Amino acid sequence: MVTHLHFDHYAGVSVEKGGAWEPTFPNAVHLIPLRDWNMPDVADARAKGDRDVTTTLGVIEKAGLVRLVEGRVGITRGVYVEPFPGESPGHQILTVASGQKRCYCIGDLYHTVEEAVEPGLVATWTDRDTLVASKVRFASRASRERALVLSGHMDPGRVSVIAGTPRWKAV
Ligand SMILES: [Zn+2]
């Protein structure tokens, strides 16, 4: 699954071999958020044949490996993707559940510890209100579940909400 269509989160879907681009995971169906696929900059880049897109998303699209998703989508028992938008319109996270244990791959819901502990602190390119709501919703759930949290740009950790304030503990 691809959390969102920012280049640093999808560049790895293809690999160059002898001058040609191939899917990195040729047997994988790639779950990509529909809302990100339709973002103006992504749609524009695809329409114009932008090299960064044709050599990555274009490769898996041509190979029939793209599945555009919206909402919560199950992958297998205990494994599913779910929207937590704001970083991008379709930003989604992955849940891996085993018994009572939970692990979340949250993409860019948090880039830094500061963003984890201060829900109002968000990057300039985000949809602020949507992202703040996603962060608050996520922190309360992950705290209750004592979940392991894996961000795209941080060391693993756990978030716990104490008296309404999120705290972060590296694992
Ligand atoms: Zn990122």
For the chain, the average pLDDT equals 97
Candidates 92, 50, 88; CA nearest to 71 is 92
Q: For residues 4 and 90, is the Cβ–Cβ distance under 8 A?
A: yes
State in Å: Cα 132 to ligand 1 middle.
Answer: 17
167 strand-pairing partners: 160
State in Å: Cα 111 to ligand 1 middle.
Answer: 7
Residue indicated by tokens 């602190």 = 121
Please report the pLDDT score of residue 157 as a whole number.
98
Q: pLDDT digits over 70-103, tens only? A: 999 999 999 999 999 999 999 999 999 999 999 9
Please report the pLDDT score of residue 134 as a whole number.
98
**Stretch 23-50: mean pLDDT, rounded?**
96
Please report the pLDDT score of residue 2 as a whole number.
98
Query: Which residues keep their CB under 5 angstroms from ion ligand 1?
Result: 8, 108, 152
State in Å: Cα 107 to ligand 1 middle.
Answer: 7
Please report the pLDDT score of residue 7 as a whole number.
96
Q: State whether the Cα torsion 30-35-41-47 is positive or negative.
A: positive
**Stretch 130-151: mean pLDDT, rounded?**
98
Please report the pLDDT score of residue 128 as a whole number.
97
Domains of the chain plus CATH, in order, are 7-69 (no CATH), 75-170 (3.60.15.10)
State in Å: Cα 98 to ligand 1 middle.
Answer: 27
